[in-house]
Amino acid sequence: MVEGVKRDGVLVYGLGRSGRGVARFLAREGKQADWTDARPAPEDEALMAELGWTRGDVTQAYSTVVAAPGVPIDHPDLERLRAVGAEVIGEVTLAARARPTLPMVGVTGTAGKGSTTVLIAHLLRACGLNALEGGNIDPPLLDVVDRAEVAVAELSSFQLERVPGLRLPVAVITNLGLDHLDRHGTPAAYHAAKLNITAAQQESDVLVLPADLTVPTRAQVRRFDPARLALADGTSVLSPADLPAGIHPANAAAALLAAEALLVHLGRAADPGLLAAALQSAQPVAGRFETVAQVAGVTFIEDSIATRTLAVQAALDRAHPPVAWLVGGRDKGAELAPLRQAAQGRVTQVIAFGEDGEALARSLGLPYRVVTGEDGEATMRAAVQAGLEALPDGGTVLLAPVGTSFDQFRDYKARGESFRRAAQALAAGQAEA
């Protein structure tokens, strides 16, 4: 045996939001772990010092490595740790193993998974269950498992790379497009990661899918149709036309079937009246196609998280034309042909910003204007102003940027908040005038 081998040791590899959740959970359980992070933030190092944990040595062996989703699953350190006996898991598997009796709904997809996750939890709460959402969406899953009767987890492809043996009584795939090819390499690898959500499901479990998607599974399949908000037996719950603004019918249809399946799993009946009322009281998730300001007949819609082709396409389809479309950030290789088609007859001008904005705009083949600024905040103010100027007779300024935020902003939320501030400043200026 190698000197210093930690056969029962745990290494938390990668901190940040997910790693901090893992650390807090393990500490509550009275467990010690080592940690490592290539670029730990000051708050991460402060937490590790508070817990009394020491920085790990990846040349040693550990029985378990809890790897943050930001760490590529084929990272050389993880490969080496596996080679000497470590099992590499993520926070989702840690939660499922630590709380095996907690019912869990898992939601993934190329677009809509966050909104669907929140909506499922909302429906289950309306039916009397203490359902809490977490995972890829705030907060980390491990922050909610001890407070929830039911956990509803948004699961990214990165999280689903590290879920060995995860069995969910109810799983949802909202759709399967293309995303994160810069990380996964090929569409097949990306889809394979997504399909891990159902890999361990059995015949008594339920998998909710769109009508046009077929995947290998042992679970019972429930197919949703955005034109019909109904239960599994066809009982109509609500007309899609009666959904609140900002609630996508596809997300609502998937959430209904998932909530019903979880209720049945718990031996409860699904009440169509309760579910209809819950749908009508649902609120869109902040930062998902959210109206943030109105100025001179122009609506400003923030959808900063829309970097996936399907998500951007959905935003373009929903935005009231004419549209000034804010495109930019760092190109992540999104498929653009469907976006060119979705924009035809709807987009008056592309407002290009950030590192790859102009290149993306040229590739889209639409009229465009490039804006710049000394930093991200100034650039966003210029983009918002340019969007307003492109719509003298009213319309929609849409931030659905295609590119990631990491050229000028900390993350997509910071970019969305910058857009919100700029649009609301214009609205305030109009009100004063």
Q: Are 421 and 379 in contact (CB under 8 A)?
A: no
Q: What is the pLDDT of residues 375-417, one digit of tens each?
A: 999 999 999 999 999 999 999 999 999 999 989 998 898 999 9
Q: Look at 287 and 196; give whichever has higher pLDDT.
A: 196
- Rounded to the nearest 10 degrees, the angle between the axes of helix 376-389 and helix 412-432 is 50
**Fold entry, domain 94-281:** UDP-N-acetylmuramoyl-L-alanine:D-glutamate ligase (3.40.1190)
Q: Are 329 and 402 in contact (CB under 8 A)?
A: yes
Q: Are 337 and 327 in contact (CB under 8 A)?
A: no
Name the β-bridge partners of 36: 13
111 labeled binding residue: yes
70 labeled binding residue: no
Select from 3.40.50.720, 3.40.50.2300, 3.30.2290.10, 3.90.190.20 the CATH code of 290-432.
3.90.190.20
In 3D, which of 225, 295, 292 has the Cα closest to residue 257?
225
The one-character DSSP state at 86 is P
115 labeled binding residue: yes
Q: For residue 4, is pLDDT > 60?
A: no
CATH superfamily of 8-89: NAD(P)-binding Rossmann-like Domain (3.40.50.720)
Q: Are 307 and 402 in contact (CB under 8 A)?
A: yes
Per-residue model confidence (pLDDT) at position 1? 37
112 labeled binding residue: yes
250 labeled binding residue: no
6 labeled binding residue: no
Question: Hey, what are 315's tokens?
Answer: 């935003």
Q: Say how far apart CA 5 and CA 199 lie, in whole Å.
A: 32
93 labeled binding residue: no
Domain boundaries, the chain: 8-89, 94-281, 290-432
Q: Say how far apart CA 228 and CA 337 lie, in whole Å.
A: 29
Per-residue model confidence (pLDDT) at position 350? 98
In 3D, which of 104, 114, 120 has the Cα closest to residue 224?
120
Q: Say how far apart CA 401 and CA 415 lie, in whole Å.
A: 10
Residue for token pair 């996936």? 308
Q: What is the pLDDT of residues 39-51, one digit of tens each?
A: 898 999 999 999 9
Q: For residue 419, is pLDDT > 80?
A: yes
